[in-house]
């Protein structure tokens, strides 16, 4: 079910523990004032546009604007039946009220509540309780352990991994067994950590950001085959690699949240040239490639305006000629064994 109808129905993704997401999900990080302050009316209109376009999966996190993304999404969802949306959020942080926000999260705005990193059992339960209050609901469908990776924790990663498996994972198992959530998993920036979690516990779903895209395929031979073997559905985020696969190889283009280095700019320029030769826009090819792998259930794209939602939906609807993939393979720009549409 969706909140509205479109002339061209949104394609359905692959199942996640019995849930049936749309092929494209909505990523809520930008609603937390990620790169700049977003007007409330625009934020609400963007979520409404996503639902109206047939996007049935919405992903958010306490981290995104320190609760602001969840607040905004919860407000928008109060105008639609709760069961018309697959709602995903995360644990690993809870918010402390009444203290200065000095944790350097990088969000331009957001709520004035600093995050406390906590992967304990009680910390996960506290995080979910706060999320449910912000979202205005009594349950979420997908619950992920967030950011247990080197990218986030550096030298403390091993300690955080142990804490998460001993604490947050046990909490998520209980929540799944009592029906509070339907699917449990992790959301990280590194495919190696997805592999570690997949071997350490019984997970339904994992969100991987940035490590399987038209630009880089680090998860192709390790995590994604393991996900298929263990029936773990994959939610792909960051398929534009922080922007460069949306903007192309332009001055100031971002890769991994920083200005792209010369080698990345050069590779993207080559990919872009092949796409142009086939009349395909680079941001059209990127989600098409990412969603083709059989382990991928849905590709989660962020947006901050209804126009961006419209653009994302239109990109998915356009077919990509098979010759494009052949030429990318011939040029050594994607692996020969990478699945394509």
The residues annotated with a catalytic role in the active site are 59, 64, 90
Query: What is the spatial distance between Cα 153 and Cα 167, in angstroms, rounded to a whole number?
Result: 17
Strand partners, 142: 88, 183
Residue whose C-alpha is closest to residue 89's, from 103, 74, 101, 111 = 74
3-state secondary structure of 338: coil
Looking at 239-341, which runs of residues are DSSP E strands? 254-255, 258-259, 296-302
Q: List the one residue out of 262, 184, 240, 228 whose CA is nearest residue 339.
A: 228
Are the beta carbons of 87 and 135 closer than 8 angstroms? Answer: yes
Is 239 within 8 Å of 288 (Cβ atoms)?
no
Query: Any residues with CB less than 8 A from the CB of 154 and at least 6 apart, and which?
Result: none
DSSP string across 4-59: S--SSPPPB---BTTB--BSEEEE-GGGGTSSS---HHHHHHHHHHHHHTT--EEE
* DSSP H or E stretch at residue 284: helix 282-291
Instruction: State the Cα–Cα distance between residues 78 and 95, nearest whole angstrom.
Output: 23
* Strand ranges for the chain from DSSP E: 24-27, 57-59, 86-91, 93-95, 115-117, 142-146, 183-188, 205-209, 233-237, 254-255, 258-259, 296-302
Structure-token match 């077919």, residue found: 319
Contact predicate 74/117, CB 8 Å: no
């Amino acid at each position: 079910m969706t909140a509205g109808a479109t002339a061209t129905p949104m394609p359905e993704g692959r199942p996640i523990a019995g849930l049936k997401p749309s092929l494209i999900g909505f990523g809520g990080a930008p609603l937390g004032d990620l790169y700049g302050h977003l007007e409330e009316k625009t934020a609400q209109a963007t979520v409404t546009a996503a639902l109206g376009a047939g996007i049935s999966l919405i992903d958010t996190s306490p981290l995104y604007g320190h609760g602001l993304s969840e607040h905004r999404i919860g407000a928008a969802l109060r105008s639609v039946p709760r069961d018309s949306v697959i709602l995903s959020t995360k644990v690993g942080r809870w918010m402390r009220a009444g203290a200065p926000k000095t944790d350097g999260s990088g969000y331009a705005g957001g709520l004035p509540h600093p995050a406390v990193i906590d992967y304990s059992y009680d910390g996960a339960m506290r995080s979910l309780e706060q999320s449910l209050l912000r979202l205005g609901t009594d349950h979420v469908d997908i619950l992920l352990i967030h950011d247990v990776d080197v990218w986030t924790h550096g030298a403390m990663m091993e300690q955080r991994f142990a804490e998460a498996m001993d604490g947050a994972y046990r909490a998520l198992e209980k929540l799944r067994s009592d029906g509070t959530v339907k699917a449990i998993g992790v959301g990280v920036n590194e495919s190696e950590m997805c592999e570690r979690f997949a071997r350490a516990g019984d997970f339904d779903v994992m969100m991987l950001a940035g490590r399987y895209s038209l630009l880089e395929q680090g998860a192709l031979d390790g995590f994604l085959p393991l996900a298929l073997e263990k029936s773990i559905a994959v939610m792909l985020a960051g398929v534009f690699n922080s922007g460069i696969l949306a903007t192309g190889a332009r001055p100031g283009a971002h890769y991994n949240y920083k200005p792209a280095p010369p080698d990345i700019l050069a590779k993207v320029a080559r990919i872009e040239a092949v796409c142009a030769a086939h009349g395909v826009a680079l941001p059209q090819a990127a989600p098409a490639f990412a969603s083709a792998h059989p382990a991928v259930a849905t590709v989660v794209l962020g947006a901050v305006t209804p126009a961006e939602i419209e653009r994302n939906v239109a990109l998915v609807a356009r077919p990509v000629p098979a010759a494009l993939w052949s030429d990318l393979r011939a040029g050594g720009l994607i692996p020969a064994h990478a699945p394509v549409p």
